[in-house]
C-alpha cells in the first residue's frame, strides 16, 4: 500500500447523510473478480440527477469527499472503497462512518476523518470553491481561511496508513502467538476444530430446519 501523510486538494462539498454502500456502488457492479475499474459506476444514482456534484467540472478528480452522518452504512462490500479509490478519493470527512466501511477504506489507503457536524457544515461551505488539506502528521483538517479542525484516528491504523504497511504480513509475523493460541483452543474448546470434507446430509440429524 502507498504511504499517506497528507491529502490536499478540492473536495466534493456533499454533506449528504446516511450515504449507503448501494449509493456508492450499486450491487449490480459487484460481479467483478478484480479491484479495478469501479470508479466509473460510483454514485450512479446520484449522477443520474442533473447538476450533481460528481459531474461538476469544479470538483472533477477531487481527492476529498465531505459527507454527512453514517457514511458508508449498509453492506460490507469493499467495492465501495475500491470505487472511491478508483475515482481518486483519498480522504472522506463526515461526522460518523459505518464501522465496516471505515475498516475497508483504511485497508485501501483512504483516510476516514470524523469531525463534528458544525465542522462539516463549515467544510461544505468552504469546499464549494476552495481546497482542503487533511494531514495525518498533525491530525488536522485545514482550509485556506485559518480553519483548523483536529481529529483522532486509531493509532494502529494511523501508523499503517503513514507507513503503507501490509497488515497480513504484520500478522503472519505473529505466527508463534497464533499457533500457541491454537494449541490452547484444541485443549479448551476442542469442538471448534472441524473435520474437513463435509459429506452432506446423509449425516444423522440433518434435514431439520
Partner 1 sequence: MAQPLTLYEKIWNAHVVERRDDGTCLIYIDRHLVHEVTSPQAFEGLRAAGRKVRRPDLTLAVPDHNLPTTARIDAAGHRLPIADPESAQQLAALERNTAEFGIDYIDATAPEQGIVHVIGPELGFTLPGSTLVCGDSHTSAHGALGALAFGIGTSEVEHVLATQTLMLSQSKTMEVRVDGTLGFGVSAKDVILAIIGKIGAAGGTGHVIEYTGEVIRGLSIEGRLTIANMSIEGGARAGLIAPDETTFAYLKSRPMAPRGKDWEKAVAWWKTLPTDAGARYDKSVTLDATDIAPSLTWGTSPEDVVSITGAVPDPESFADPSKRVAARKSLDYMGLTPGTRMQDVPVQHVFIGSCTNSRIEDLRAAAEVATGRHVADGVRALVVPGSGLVKRQAEAEGLDRIFAEAGFEWREPGCSMCLAMNPDKVPAGERCASTSNRNFVGRQGPGSRTHLVSPAMAAAAAVTGKLSDVRELMR
Distances in Å between the Cα of 181 and the Cα atoms of 160, 167, 174, 195, 196 are 25, 19, 11, 19, 20
Q: Does the protein bind partner 1 through residue 23 (CB under 8 A)? A: yes
Q: How far is the CB of 9 from partner 1 (least distance, A)?
A: 25
Alpha-carbon distance of 85 to 83, in angstroms, equals 5
34, 146, 152, 183: residue in contact with partner 1 (rule CB under 8 A):
34
Alpha-carbon distance of 72 to 15, in angstroms, equals 13
| Alpha-carbon Rg for the chain in angstroms | 21
Grid coordinates representing 197 are: 470434507
Q: Does the protein bind partner 1 through residue 205 (CB under 8 A)? A: yes
The 8-class DSSP code of residue 59 comes to: G
Q: Show contacts with partner 1 in window 109-168 (CB under 8 A).
A: 154-156, 167-168
Pick the piece of the chain touching partner 1 (CB under 8 A) from 123-131, 132-140, 145-153, 199-207.
199-207
Q: Does the protein bind partner 1 through residue 183 (CB under 8 A)? A: no
Pick the piece of the chain touching partner 1 (CB under 8 A) from 59-67, 83-91, 102-110, 145-153.
102-110
Q: How far is the CB of 127 from partner 1 (least distance, A)?
A: 17
Q: Which is nearer to partner 1, 122 or 133 (CB)?
A: 122
Q: Does the protein bind partner 1 through residue 206 (CB under 8 A)? A: yes
Which residues sit at the interface with partner 1, rule CB under 8 A?
15-18, 20, 22-23, 26-28, 30-35, 44-45, 68-70, 73-78, 81, 96-100, 103-104, 107-108, 154-156, 167-168, 170-172, 174, 177-178, 181-182, 185, 189-198, 200-201, 203-209
Amino acid at each position: 500500500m502507498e504511504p499517506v501523510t497528507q491529502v490536499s486538494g478540492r473536495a466534493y462539498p456533499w454533506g449528504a447523510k446516511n450515504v449507503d454502500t448501494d449509493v456508492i456502488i450499486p450491487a449490480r457492479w459487484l460481479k467483478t473478480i478484480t479491484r479495478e475499474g469501479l470508479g466509473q459506476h460510483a454514485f450512479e444514482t446520484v449522477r443520474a440527477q442533473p447538476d450533481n456534484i460528481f459531474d461538476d467540472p469544479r470538483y472533477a478528480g477531487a481527492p476529498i469527499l465531505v459527507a454527512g452522518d453514517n457514511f458508508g452504512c449498509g453492506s460490507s462490500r469493499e467495492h465501495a472503497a475500491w470505487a472511491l479509490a478508483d475515482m481518486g478519493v483519498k480522504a472522506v470527512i463526515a461526522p460518523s462512518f459505518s464501522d465496516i466501511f471505515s475498516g475497508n477504506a483504511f485497508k485501501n489507503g483512504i483516510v476516514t476523518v470524523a469531525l463534528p457536524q458544525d465542522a462539516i457544515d463549515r467544510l461544505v461551505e468552504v469546499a464549494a470553491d476552495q481546497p482542503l488539506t487533511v494531514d495525518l502528521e498533525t491530525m488536522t483538517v485545514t482550509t485556506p481561511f485559518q480553519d483548523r479542525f483536529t481529529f483522532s484516528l486509531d493509532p494502529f491504523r494511523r501508523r499503517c496508513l503513514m507507513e503503507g504497511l501490509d497488515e497480513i504480513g504484520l500478522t503472519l509475523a505473529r505466527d508463534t502467538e497464533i499457533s500457541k493460541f491454537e494449541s490452547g483452543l484444541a485443549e479448551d474448546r476442542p469442538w471448534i476444530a472441524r473435520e474437513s470434507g463435509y459429506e452432506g446430509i446423509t449425516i444423522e440429524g440433518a434435514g431439520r430446519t
